[in-house]
Amino acid sequence: MSDSMTFALPDDDRALLVGRVWRDAPHPGPALVVVRDGRVVDISANVACMADLLERDDTAALVATAQGEDLGPVEELLARSLAETPEAPYLLAPCDVQAIKACGVTFAVSLMERVIEEQAGGDPARASELREELRQVIGGDLSKIVPGSEAAMALKAELQARGAWSQYMEVGIGPDAEVFTKAQPLSAVGFGRGVGLHPASEWNNPEPEIVLAVDAAGRARGATLGNDVNLRDVEGRSALLLGKAKDNNASCAIGPFIRLFDDGFTLDTVREATVSLRIEGADDDFVLEDSSDMRQISRDPLELVRQTLGAHHQYPDGFMLFLGTMFSPIQDRDGAGQGFTHHLGDVVTIATPSLGALVNRVDRSDRLPPWTYGIRQWMADMARRR
């Protein structure tokens, strides 16, 4: 990682950045902050929480002008947040009471790997052999198939006839996207904190993604970065174990800030983004670098929003929506044919120029600090601040 913290910030100094920090004084608890002119300003006296800020019609003006306590240079905040035992103020995940949702199988590459996980039954040793078998059976370029189209339904019929259909194919090229609950409100970890692997998992990987911040009306108000930590062996045994594979202590990382949409940063920026991933091993000098090209996503981000919120389901506090990833690492790490899996201590950096970088270190969910700060404590702290 760079000695300078500028790598964690967008490459555009006009970016409207909002986030949350933990403060010990004047009262312990979370505070809403903005970044202005390279400094962090606590604007909690102006708006109570991130969900409220994203509902306002004057959000951009408030971010630009709201008065508040200066907490120092943003680079110092980022450096403190990376410390093993951070000193307040340090970064939290930038969302608070919003639901945290995620979309799966939105890229052709990840679709193939999900089918492999399913057919391997969670055994990484079978993945390489199955990968070649599936290429021969499926053939063609799945990324050119529009989900729900006539061509997609024709391919479905053909694969069913050949006994190669999968529930992952259904959400990958069928009309309905996979949308699931990734984590509970207030449970996500932020920049610099440890991300957790369930202790039962022996085959796992990060999932670098762009995350939309969506208000209660379904308007995408901004975006940030996320790590939708994935347990390939657990979900591969059964898709019904998705909750066990996805929602564990510290298994959801979001940050470092939400960048608000404006004339210089739009949904088209997200659509054109390339999200890079770097994994640095602490015990074996392993380095893996890869990327996800959002131009290869099979469903438009706004289509994923529409499938999440509508007459069928509302989110009165808004929601954070992981858009999915094409990243499914197959680089051998621990032996030929074994593919990739995390080691404890891995440093994961997820980055894109318009959003900066999210950095986390990998540990086990049962060794990381337990999630104890819930809605009741948050409400008590909000009342104390008022």
pLDDT of the residue at 260:
98
Same domain, yes or no, for 31 and 142? no
Q: How many domains in the chain?
A: 3
User: Is 369's pLDDT higher than 50?
Assistant: yes
Same domain, yes or no, for 332 and 233? yes
Per the DSSP assignment, residues forming a β-bridge with 205 are: 230
Q: Could you read off the pLDDT of 33-42 as tens digits, one per residue?
A: 999 999 999 9
**282 domain-assigned:** yes
- Residue 151 binned pLDDT confidence (cut-offs 50, 70, 90): confident
pTM (2 decimals)?
0.91
Contact 385, 377 (CB under 8 A): no
Q: Which of 301, 273, 266, 283 is nearest to 362 (CA)?
A: 283
Q: What are phi and psi of 115, to 5 degrees?
A: -65, -40
H-helix or E-strand spanning residue 237:
helix 232-237
- Residue 144 binned pLDDT confidence (cut-offs 50, 70, 90): confident
Same domain, yes or no, for 235 and 272? yes
Span 164-170, mean pLDDT? 78
pLDDT of the residue at 140:
57
| Euclidean distance between CA atoms 345 and 348, whole angstroms | 9
Picking from 95, 120, 149, the residue at the C-terminal end of a domain is: 95
Q: What are phi and psi of 91, to 5 degrees?
A: -75, 140
**42 domain-assigned:** yes
53, HSE (Cβ side, Cα atoms, 13 Å)? 32
Q: How many of the other CB atoms lie within 10 Å of CB of 133?
A: 14
Same domain, yes or no, for 228 and 87? no
| Euclidean distance between CA atoms 75 and 167, whole angstroms | 45
User: Is 324's pLDDT higher than 60?
Assistant: yes
User: Is 2's pLDDT higher than 50?
Assistant: no
The residue among 230 and 337 whose pLDDT is bigger is 230
Same domain, yes or no, for 76 and 143? no
Which residue range forms the structural domain that includes residue 282?
99-106+177-371
Span 179-195, mean pLDDT? 98
Q: Which of 320, 275, 330, 264 is nearest to 297 (CA)?
A: 275
Residue with tokens 């120092």: 72
| Euclidean distance between CA atoms 1 and 36, whole angstroms | 24
Per the DSSP assignment, residues forming a β-bridge with 189 are: 253
User: Is 97's pLDDT higher than 80?
Assistant: yes
Picking from 121, 150, 173, the residue at the C-terminal end of a domain is: 173
Same domain, yes or no, for 196 and 51? no
Q: How many of the other CB atoms lie within 10 Å of CB of 268?
A: 9
pLDDT of the residue at 162:
67
Same domain, yes or no, for 141 and 236? no
Same domain, yes or no, for 325 and 182? yes
Span 17-31, mean pLDDT? 95
Q: How many of the other CB atoms lie within 10 Å of CB of 4?
A: 11
pLDDT of the residue at 159:
73
Q: Are strands 99-104 and 178-183 parallel, antiparallel or unpaired?
A: antiparallel
User: Is 330's pLDDT higher than 90?
Assistant: no
Picking from 156, 173, 190, the residue at the C-terminal end of a domain is: 173
What are the residues whose beta carbons fall under 8 Å from the beta carbon of 114, sequence distance 6 or more? 104, 105, 166, 168, 172, 235
pLDDT of the residue at 1:
44
CA atoms 292, 74, 318, 23: torsion sign: positive
